[in-house]
Structure 1
Amino acid sequence: MALLTLGLNHKTAPLDIRERITFGPDIIVAALRSLSERPGVDEATILSTCNRTEIYCALNQGGRQEICQWLSDFHGVEPETVSPYLYDHENRESVRHLLRVASGLDSMVLGEPQILGQVKSAFQTACDATTTGKLLGRLFQHTFSVAKQVRTDTAIGHSPVSVAFAAVSLARQIFSDLTNQTALLIGAGETIELAARHLHQHGIGRIIVANRTLERAHTLANQFDGYAIALTEIPSHLAEADIVISSTASPLPVLGKGTVESALKKRKHQPMFMVDIAVPRDIESEVGNLNDAYLYTVDDLQEVIDENLRSRLEAAEQAQEIIDFHTEEFMGWLRSLDAVGMIQDYRRQAECMRDEALDRAMKQLTNGKSPEEALQFLAHTITNKLLHTPSTQIRQAGFDGHIELLEAANTLFQIKDGDSSK
């Protein structure tokens, strides 16, 4: 069985391509079941975030082309449209890639902690959809353990760097003092919670939280002395916002050009700083063409993010050493699966020999042979049967000059040099 990872991320694909290949919470289970029904796919997990979409499969046949075709078919796009942006990893590199992803080494923000929770959530969704098994189960549990070790043993996560942090850092560059500013946060997920936390720590004047579920918005807003509104109330409050940060799972934009244009008129064209972290986008791209609206997407945050990475580079090198070690550890376990089947077959063969010899020894006892004679027959027969094939093969290897096979036999049987009578 082979491991395959197929995906695209912020490094390989522009935002408009990533938007077309996402798996929202409303379709992820159907996607997993559709994928697992493809010939050759034994197990499957899909990781879909703002910055990446990745498919992890255990395959008994097929490979990149078949999974790429499924991905294109599921999203209704031509394979030629998405294929140039895809990367794929097999077996060892697939394991190594997942360990890097979960540890934050492959993120836009090096070492960001949110990705581990997203990987765990993706795996739990696949478990609930019954599309995982022994191989992916072991791989993901191994991954969680390694990611935890990376966090514990390195400084990869010591600096408060994330997409949310980058957004707030950019806001502070535009508004040097946040105490008189109002922030409208759209969504109530982990990224928005982090943004609210960073804004609160930097003394933001007011926080408004808008969410589809008003109760969730209230829960988040109360943590930071803010107040909550429903998504439908945004047009009535948008003019109050100096800073807008949006990150929802909506498949369609929640803020259109007309709504923003109306808000800017009410503000008498005071500048509005807007960050759209969502994929697909929450804010129509045309908003960026409006005067006094400064719209940034996740891709635009890269410069801000780069400034906060320097302290993590050394930690990333240490983390990579941990990952390389545990990649080989997992591959050792994977290789051992082949040995397990061989051991079971050899044991069954030996047990058949034993049962046959024992049956003949019991018949000798029934026919009047002494126990000593029967035991000697049993021991002699089992020894000869167990040693016959290995002895024949070792003798032939010597005759043919297969030194490597003789060395392997010596290692396998742990043969001692010297006189056995000593």
Structure 2
Amino acid sequence: MKLLAVGINHKTASLVLREKVAFPAESLVDALTSLRDTLGAQESVILSTCNRTEVYVQAENLQHHALLKWIADFHQVDAGDLTRHSYAYDSEAAVAHMMRVASGLDSLILGEPQILGQLKQAYSSAKNAGAVDGQFERLFQHTFSVAKKVRTETDIGANAVSVAFAAVQLAKQIFSSLAKSSVLLIGAGETIELVAKHLSDNQIKSITVANRTLQRAKQLAEPIGAKVITLAQIPNMLHEADIVISSTASTLPMIGKGMVESALKDRRHKPIFFVDLAVPRDIENEVAELDDAFLYTVDDLQHIVEQNLASRQQAANEAQSIIDKQIKEFISWQNSLQSVDSVKAFRDQNNLIKHKLQQRALSQIAEGKDPEQVVIELSNKLANALMHAPTKALSEAAQHNDQHRLSVLKQSLGLNTEKD
């Protein structure tokens, strides 16, 4: 039985190709059934996210190219194109890859935690479909445990590595409680959407989204329970905001020094924290000259991100050490399964010999043969039968001067090698 892992991700394939080979939730059961019926997969799990599609399979005599061809056929894409942009691992390398993925070491954003939840969901879906049993049960549970260990014993996810997240983290350092703060988001693009998500995750209740078109602002605001205003309303609303984060495509500043002075006066000089993520800038640089206005630009945050990325890379090295150790533990357990099978086969073989000779001895006694002679014959035959294979192995090792094999055999047979 061999473990295979094949797939594509953000490092190897374009978004177009990743979209083509994604597995929607409604197709998973059919896909897992097809892996079993078409390729003879004993166990299988399919991980499909926006950044990667990976198939993990436990099967006999299955090769990487056959598994990749199955993915290509299932999605009706060119097998050669898929193969050129794919990667493949087996056995110990497959285990190592899975643990790296679960720990966030193979993610677009190093150390991001979402992938672990996605892998758990992929495992649960496969288990519910009857595609997980035996070794995969142990492998995935061990992998989840490793990822948790990485999270708790390293700082892999401790620092912000996107400007959106860094903006929120910086606000948390300045305000004792973000939950009590009022936030004004200016713009409704991808960056502000990510900021809004991070703010929502921090339980902020008062969020207002200002945008040129209210329809787009509402699309962003509704999921997080935020209010919406137009850009023209900002001067009248600015004094209500403790935190202002802006990212628009405007070629001119949205907020000037005079507007902020007026807002601070209305707030009785209660400070406002500004984060300008736009290029060109949305907030005039002169705002930073005001005593109660704290302005950070995208360059300031990018510097924080670079420092944090370096910190995460150090944590990633520590995480890899944890993974390397855990791989050895899992492989050791996997190898022990083989010894269990070997021990069972050895016991069954010797019990068969014992039963055969025992039955013969009982028959001889029943026929009136001298019991003493029967016992002597039984013990001789049993000893010869049990010694045959070890004796042959010892002789072959000695003939080939294989000292290592001789040492292992002697230890296995309980021989006193020093005395010998």
TM over 0.5, yes or no?
Answer: yes
CA contact (8 A) 1:18 1:53 kept: yes
Tell me, in whole angstroms, the C-alpha distance in 2 between the residues paired with 1:79 and 1:95. 25
Alignment CA distance shift 1:310-1:29 (3 Å)? same
Question: Is 1:115–2:118 an aligned residue pair?
Answer: no
Structure 1 residues 117-142: Cα deviation after superposition (integer angstroms, max 9, x where no partner)? 11110000111111222222221111
1:237-386 → structure 2 map (5 Å cutoff):
308-367=308-367, 377-386=377-386
1:403-422 → structure 2 map (5 Å cutoff):
403-417=403-417
Residue 290 of structure 1: aligned partner = none
Gaps of 5+ in 2: 171-180, 211-216, 234-247, 255-301
Question: Is 1:130–2:130 an aligned residue pair?
Answer: yes
Structure 1 residues 259-293: Cα deviation after superposition (integer angstroms, max 9, x where no partner)? xxxxx9xx9x999xxxxxxxxxxxxxxxxxxxxxx
Question: Is 1:179–2:183 an aligned residue pair?
Answer: yes
Residue 208 of structure 2: aligned partner = 205
Alignment CA distance shift 1:308-1:417 (3 Å)? closer
CA contact (8 A) 2:8 2:54 kept: yes
1:46-195 → structure 2 map (5 Å cutoff):
46-161=46-161, 165=165, 179-181=183-185, 194=198
Alignment CA distance shift 1:365-1:180 (3 Å)? same
SS at match of 1:8: strand
CA contact (8 A) 1:185 1:209 kept: no
SS at match of 2:183: coil
Alignment CA distance shift 1:305-1:19 (3 Å)? farther
Residue 286 of structure 2: aligned partner = none
TM score, norm. by length of structure 2? 0.69
SS at match of 1:83: helix
Gaps of 5+ in 1: 171-176, 212-216, 228-236, 243-263, 272-301
Identity %: 36
Tell me, in whole angstroms, the C-alpha distance in 2 between the residues paired with 1:193 and 1:49. 19
Root mean square deviation, CA, Å: 4.2
Tell me, in whole angstroms, the C-alpha distance in 2 between the residues paired with 1:163 and 1:210. 22
Alignment CA distance shift 1:340-1:185 (3 Å)? farther
Q: Which amino acid is 2:333 matched to?
A: W
Alignment CA distance shift 1:199-1:145 (3 Å)? closer
Tell me, in whole angstroms, the C-alpha distance in 2 between the residues paired with 1:191 and 1:47. 27
Residue 173 of structure 1: aligned partner = none
342-351 vs 353-362, which deviates more? 353-362
Structure 1 residues 297-336: Cα deviation after superposition (integer angstroms, max 9, x where no partner)? xxxxx99965642222222111111101111222222233
Tell me, in whole angstroms, the C-alpha distance in 2 between the residues paired with 1:140 and 1:59. 16
Tell me, in whole angstroms, the C-alpha distance in 2 between the residues paired with 1:317 and 1:133. 32
Tell me, in whole angstroms, the C-alpha distance in 2 between the residues paired with 1:36 and 1:238. 55
SS at match of 1:146: helix
Structure 1 residues 139-177: Cα deviation after superposition (integer angstroms, max 9, x where no partner)? 11110111111122222222255797379789xxxxxx9
Deviation at 1:112, TM superposition (A): 1.4
Residue 251 of structure 1: aligned partner = none
SS at match of 1:37: helix
CA contact (8 A) 1:184 1:241 kept: no
CA contact (8 A) 2:102 2:147 kept: yes
Q: Which amino acid is 1:205 matched to?
A: T
CA contact (8 A) 1:47 1:119 kept: yes
Give the length in aligned residue pairs.
Answer: 345
